[in-house]
Amino acid sequence: MAASKRVVARANELRELIAFHNDRYFGDDDPEISDAEFDELVRELRTIETDHPELVPTTSLLDVPGAPRSTTFAPVTHRMPMTSLDNAMDHDELAAWGERVSKGLSVESVRYVCELKIDGLALSLRFEGGDFVQAATRGDGKTGEDVTANVRTIAGIPQRLAPAPAVLEVRGEVYMSKGAFEKLRNEKLRDNEARVAAGKKPQPVPANPRNAGAGSLRQKDPGVTATRELSMWAYQLGEVDGVPAFSSHHDTLEYLRTLGFPINPEVRIVDSLAEVVAFCAHWQEHRNELPYIIDGVVVKVDDLAQRERLGYTSKAPRWAIAVKFPPEERTTLLRDIKVSIGRTGRATPFAELEPVVVAGSTVSMATLHNREQVQVKDVRPGDTVVVRKAGDVIPEVVGPVLAKRPKDSKPWKFPSTCPCDLKSTLVQAEGESDTRCVEPDCPHQRDQKIIHFTSRGGMDIEGFGEKTVYKLSDAGVLEDVGDIYSLTPEVLLAQGFGEGQTANLMKAIDGSRTATLQKLLVALGIKHLGPSAAESLARRFGSLDSVAQASTSELAAIDGVGEVIAESVTSWFSNKRHRSIVNKLRKGGVRFDNVTVVDAPQTLVGKSIVVTGTLSGFGREEAERAIKDRGGKSSGSVSGKTFALVVGDEPGASKVKKAVELGVPQIGEAAFVRLLETGELA
């Protein structure tokens, strides 16, 4: 069936869009849309060209793996084309690729190599007689850019090989680690802070490590590249002469490792597609634990002879595929910037967005952190913005796409008054980045304090969420958290709650009366007081009244508390409003002395233990509790103060790497049990 005029027009439009965004991404390192949105354009055009082969031009854009090189660097013709990979966006597409591989080889089982898909810039390194002679970007797959001088500044890339093959071309991915990116980004933000303070316009801030890394590699001045702390993982051989004969891909990686090339430690050899799926699922879940950004997994047939039999399409090898993870970055319209007021009066700007799916969930709001962040990022209502959501992290507006900014755009100004009905003045204290509403009667602060009190991290009153709080506070039933315990079924029914919901709420409220002193202290929302310090206070003083009566010096003397928290606790209990709340809680039957008594030997006093991975005899919380019960600290990150890293199944790679770098002992579960008993390492 011939294509309609609408389909023809759409195909032409898609080709123009793909060509434009290819240039923005590969040529300028300044994309206007996210990778996921670009992939959607490509997939739509591929569907049209598949359904209507008569519309396929002699050279389809889909057959070009990159973009033409820029004129900034000298051209390099690749002796072997640097092809890109076909993508699998879900399990079905991966399974379909696996079936094609099996049929192409006429075998039932295939051995695969799984590699993390690094979000960086593809690079070719050429060595002749052992000497590093040239580095080139992929470009359009046939011709790239000569970036040799810049690549020489990257630590970890060997400059001389021994033994020295006649010719060795190594392909890999140059990337900027999360740490290096944050360092660069913070430098740019600080520079913008100074510019804003001086009345100057802020400069663009790098949005993500990929763009920052690619831009750093393609600097005209290699000295600038040298300051950007770029890294590289080698993953493939190109043209070779005088190297050993290999039968498998993983053997080539081991060969490169012996020559001194950095090989990603997470490469895995698997014997089935089911194991490939499991590998992909693991890293999709744990991707944010890595010190660099990945956006998927690359799957390759391991047997090199089988690769030869499978061959290539015009664009990509048939023996490899890129499994793409759900995108953690998207672009969308920033409809408006508003301000929310937290329980401490902190005014936090947030973005109202055109809804967009990021990391598997629909995002319509995102944080902008504080007044300075809005200024230095220079985001404005009406902008197209980059939105990022990594795992369970709150969605964040990374920055604007300046090329799409409306011509009549004006900088956003932070409001001077609270959005509540009282319209109190917002104040920014000298030396603080936060702006606050300092009106004690602010209804926004009241509601957020109650929400915090009833939340899982507080008294954990099931069913007492935001909607319930707003409904009861708007009706004048709740003025503070103390009023929760004077609620009756009659009051709830009168406010429109059903009989079943009322019964459940009353049961949850009653159950919270026996919450531990630690949870009660956290629920009160005392500034700076978190779960760890609250637990220390609970164990030392035994009751809320004793904590309230303690002096600042007595509080500060407790390990894990210190002056700042001690002064905050003393100040909170000296406030007349807060003492009234405590009395309401007392009258409402809330226990002030529910402290868990621990008889475990104090074998880990002064020791910080980090647990990573899954232990067979302990859940994560059980392991942390076992450490704390023995006087130790259970930290979430490895540092120079860490006494030991307990390593279970499927540990976090970044924690293990950090432990190796710092010389922190790594122990298994059996040694962990012995450590709990004796305080000593095996």
Kindly report the pTM of this predicted structure.
0.61
Does the residue 492 lie in any domain?
yes
Packing angle of the helix pair 669-678, 620-629 (nearest 10 deg): 20
Are 615 and 566 found together in one domain? Answer: no
Residue finishing a domain among 380, 401, 422: 401
Domain with 118 in it: 87-324
Containing 361, the helix (H) or strand (E) segment is: strand 361-367
Are 311 and 173 found together in one domain? Answer: yes
Are 570 and 635 found together in one domain? Answer: no
The fraction of the chain above a pLDDT of 70, given in percent, is 95
Are 160 and 308 found together in one domain? Answer: yes
Structure confidence at residue 205 (pLDDT)? 81
pLDDT at 70 over 70: no
DSSP line for 219-262? -SSHHHHHTT-EEEEEEEEEEEESPPP-SBHHHHHHHHHHTT--
How many angstroms separate the CA atoms of 148 and 137, rounded?
Answer: 10
111-116: average pLDDT: 97
Q: Rounded mean pLDDT of the chain?
A: 89
- Structure-token pair, residue 663: 């010389």
Residue finishing a domain among 555, 587, 619: 587
CATH code for the domain in which residue 483 is found: 1.10.150.20
Dihedrals phi, psi of 92, to nearest 5 degrees: -65, -40
Q: Which residues contact 195 (CB under 8 A, 6 or more apart)?
A: 201, 202, 203
β-bridge pairing 268-270 and 329-341: unpaired
612-618: average pLDDT: 88
Convert 532-558 to b/e letters by CB count within 10 Å (16 or more is b).
bbbbbbbbbbbebebbbebeeebbbeb
Which residue, among 233, 182, 227, 188, has the nearest Cα to 209 in the 3D structure?
182
Does the residue 659 lie in any domain?
yes
Which residue, among 289, 240, 254, 241, has the nearest Cα to 113 in the 3D structure?
254
Output the CA torsion 371→377→381→383 (10° steps).
Answer: -170
Q: Are 599 and 631 in contact (CB under 8 A)?
A: no
Q: Are 298 and 114 in contact (CB under 8 A)?
A: yes
> How many residues can be counted in the chain?
682
Which residue, among 584, 635, 585, has the nearest Cα to 607 in the 3D structure?
635
Dihedrals phi, psi of 211, to nearest 5 degrees: -65, -40
Are 193 and 232 found together in one domain? Answer: yes
Among the ranges given (17-26, 78-87, 501-510, 585-594), the one the predictor scored with the smallest mean pLDDT: 17-26
Q: CA dist 217 to 50, 138, 211, 343, Å?
A: 37, 13, 10, 45
Are 226 and 347 found together in one domain? Answer: no
Structure confidence at residue 26 (pLDDT)? 58
Which residues are known to be catalytic? 117
Containing 489, the helix (H) or strand (E) segment is: helix 489-494
Q: Are 329 and 35 in contact (CB under 8 A)?
A: yes
Does the residue 424 lie in any domain?
no
CATH code for the domain in which residue 612 is found: 3.40.50.10190
Which residue, among 80, 60, 69, 79, has the nearest Cα to 28 in the 3D structure?
69
pLDDT at 64 over 60: no
Among the ranges given (8-22, 155-169, 247-261, 370-384), the one the predictor scored with the smallest mean pLDDT: 8-22
Cα 112-117-121 angle, rounded to 5 deg: 130
402: Cα within 13 Å, side-chain hemisphere:
10
Report the first-to-last Cα separation within the chain, whole angstroms.
74
Is the four-CA dihedral 35, 39, 42, 48 of positive or negative sign?
negative
Are 547 and 660 found together in one domain? Answer: no
338-350: average pLDDT: 92
CATH code for the domain in which residue 395 is found: 2.40.50.140
Q: Are 331 and 386 in contact (CB under 8 A)?
A: yes
Confidence of residue 426 (pLDDT cuts 50, 70, 90): very high
CATH code for the domain in which residue 152 is found: 3.30.470.30
E strand intervals along 75-155: 75-77, 87-88, 112-118, 121-128, 131-137, 143-145
Structure confidence at residue 475 (pLDDT)? 95
Structure confidence at residue 307 (pLDDT)? 96
Number of domains, the chain = 5
Does the residue 462 lie in any domain?
yes
Does the residue 92 lie in any domain?
yes
Convert 518-530 to b/e letters by CB count within 10 Å (16 or more is b).
bbbbbbbbbeebe
Q: Are 605 and 631 in contact (CB under 8 A)?
A: yes
CATH code for the domain in which residue 53 is found: 1.10.287.610
**Higher per-residue pLDDT: 200 or 522:** 522
**Residue 563 DSSP code:** H
Are 222 and 312 found together in one domain? Answer: yes
Confidence of residue 506 (pLDDT cuts 50, 70, 90): very high
How many angstroms separate the CA atoms of 145 and 119, rounded?
Answer: 19
How many angstroms separate the CA atoms of 481 and 420, rounded?
Answer: 20
Structure confidence at residue 207 (pLDDT)? 76
β-bridge pairing 87-88 and 320-324: parallel
Which residue, among 216, 239, 211, 242, has the nearest Cα to 227 in the 3D structure?
216
Does the residue 423 lie in any domain?
no
Count the Cβ atoms, other than its own, within 10 Å of residue 198. 7
pLDDT at 393 over 80: no
Residue finishing a domain among 272, 294, 324: 324
Are 227 and 345 found together in one domain? Answer: no
How many angstroms separate the CA atoms of 448 and 455, rounded?
Answer: 10
Are 308 and 337 found together in one domain? Answer: no
How many angstroms separate the CA atoms of 652 and 641, rounded?
Answer: 19
Are 247 and 289 found together in one domain? Answer: yes
Confidence of residue 352 (pLDDT cuts 50, 70, 90): very high
Residue type at 120? G
Are 250 and 309 found together in one domain? Answer: yes
pLDDT at 65 over 60: no
276-290: average pLDDT: 92
Residue 209, class by beta-carbon neighbours within 10 Å (0-12 exposed, 13-18 middle, 19+ buried)?
Answer: buried
Does the residue 434 lie in any domain?
no
Does the residue 145 lie in any domain?
yes
Dihedrals phi, psi of 142, to nearest 5 degrees: -105, -40
How many angstroms separate the CA atoms of 32 and 112, rounded?
Answer: 35
How many angstroms separate the CA atoms of 34 and 330, rounded?
Answer: 5
